[in-house]
Amino acid sequence: MQTLQSPTRPRSIDQLLDPRLVSRLSQLDVTSRKILAGKLKGERRSKRRGQSVEFADHRLYVPGDDLRHIDWNIFGRLDRLFLKLFLEEEDLGLHVVLDASRSHDAGEPSKWLFMQRLACALGYVALSNLHRLTVWSMAGASITLSERAGAPDEPPEAGRGEPEPERPVVSAVRDLRGRRRLADLARFLLGQEPMGVASFTEAAKRIALARRGKGVMVVLSDFFIKEGYQDGLRLLAGRGFDLFAVQVLSPQEVEPTLGGDLRLRDCEDGDLADVTITAPLLARYKQTLAAYSARLRDFCARRDVTLQVMRSDTPVESALLDHFRRRGLLA
């Protein structure tokens, strides 16, 4: 649970996405429990009638309809004009939101690394299936939202231990489509680094305001948010997004290995807590963590948000193939 003094960062896409995993991911697709309208033509069936090859229904011709869709066979038999309707196939928008506050730079293996790999794998699945992929990173205090599609924000240059530069509340790489944009995705993910205090509500508000259309949103966070996660999640879930919340915890947070008289310093806001780690306190801590997760789960359930709790030592393949499949995020 301690933050890492010199965390290992992935330097290349290979370190984010294991090539052996790629073949398994190719067989997956992002699904949504909701039939959501896409923006572009895609490989996903839409509620709208469109121009795919899949027949949907007939209706009476009204002037102005495209004559190419008149079913002439019916006209021959019934002498009436009926129009053939086809299902529309649209793309699916996948939004992956990473909470890049400093608290995610904790644990062994690091929660941030796990979140990076998970986001990369999800992104690969989405890109492979011609979905629109937007990856959000919530960090910093200034509100500078990069609107440029496909142009990831420059990663901060400042190193750890130095005064943190002012960062935008949210940075994103948006509307990626097709496998060729995998490099952009990787560049964005590699350029992010957890630091500072996440203003979750503010960032969620920005994301909610900035997004276009509807889609599936996966929020990766530990949800250790002192200001509360409720408002943020409420904003993200409010616009008809199919929201998946993934609470990422490090093994050290689940089973602390601390002991003795300690002064705990919050890595985000520097808040101090003097504790004497005792067995009863550890038991109480685990109860508190369980209760916290249970409250989060209740909150999500009431708002039709799927919550998945994962440890950062969970293999990415297992997370995708087991957990996300079971939850209906992937098929």
Total interface residues for other proteins by CB under 8 A: 43
In order of 33, 39, 87, 89, the CA distances from 54 in angstroms are 21, 19, 6, 9
Among 108, 266, 313, 317, binds other proteins (CB under 8 A): 266
Q: Smallest distance from the beta carbon of 280 to other proteins, in angstroms?
A: 7
- How far apart are alpha carbons 1 and 4 in whole angstroms? 9
* Only segment of 84-92, 133-141, 236-244, 264-272 that touches other proteins (CB under 8 A): 264-272
* Only segment of 23-31, 42-50, 184-192, 249-257 that touches other proteins (CB under 8 A): 249-257
In the block, which residue shows the tokens 């509340």? 169
Is residue 250 part of the contact set for other proteins (CB under 8 A)?
Answer: yes
Phi and psi (nearest 5°) for 229?
-95, -10
Is residue 246 part of the contact set for other proteins (CB under 8 A)?
Answer: no
Could you tell me the two tokens for 124? 């690969």
Could you tell me the two tokens for 190? 């590699």
- How far apart are alpha carbons 331 and 32 in whole angstroms? 9
Among 271, 298, 304, 322, binds other proteins (CB under 8 A): 271
Question: Which residue(s) pair with 245 in the sheet?
Answer: 219, 307
Is residue 245 part of the contact set for other proteins (CB under 8 A)?
Answer: no
Q: Smallest distance from the beta carbon of 248 to other proteins, in angstroms?
A: 11
Q: Are the C-beta atoms of 171 and 139 separated by less than 8 Å?
A: yes
Is residue 79 part of the contact set for other proteins (CB under 8 A)?
Answer: no
Among 264, 313, 317, 321, binds other proteins (CB under 8 A): 264
Cβ neighbours of residue 125 closer than 8 Å, sequence gap 6 or more: 25, 28, 29, 30, 320, 330
Buried b (16+ CB within 10 A) or exposed e, 276-307: eeeeeeeeebeeeeeeebeebbebbeeeebbb
What track of x and - describes contact with other proteins for positions 274 through 293 (by CB under 8 A)?
xxxxxxxxx-xx-xxx--x-
Q: Smallest distance from the beta carbon of 330 to other proteins, in angstroms?
A: 28
> Euclidean distance between the first and final Cα of the chain, in Å?
33
Identity of the residue, 148 or 286, whose beta carbon is nearer to other proteins in the bound complex: 286
CA-wise closest residue to 115 among 140, 102, 132, 97 = 97
Is residue 295 part of the contact set for other proteins (CB under 8 A)?
Answer: no
Q: Smallest distance from the beta carbon of 261 to other proteins, in angstroms?
A: 5
Q: Smallest distance from the beta carbon of 100 to other proteins, in angstroms?
A: 13
Is residue 322 part of the contact set for other proteins (CB under 8 A)?
Answer: no
Identity of the residue, 142 or 257, whose beta carbon is nearer to other proteins in the bound complex: 257
Q: Give residue 110's identity as a one-letter amino acid code.
A: S
CA-wise closest residue to 264 among 254, 252, 276 = 276
Is residue 1 part of the contact set for other proteins (CB under 8 A)?
Answer: yes
Is residue 107 part of the contact set for other proteins (CB under 8 A)?
Answer: yes
Q: Which residues bind other proteins (CB under 8 A)?
A: 1-3, 103-104, 106-107, 111, 222, 224, 226, 250, 253, 257-268, 271-282, 284-285, 287-289, 292
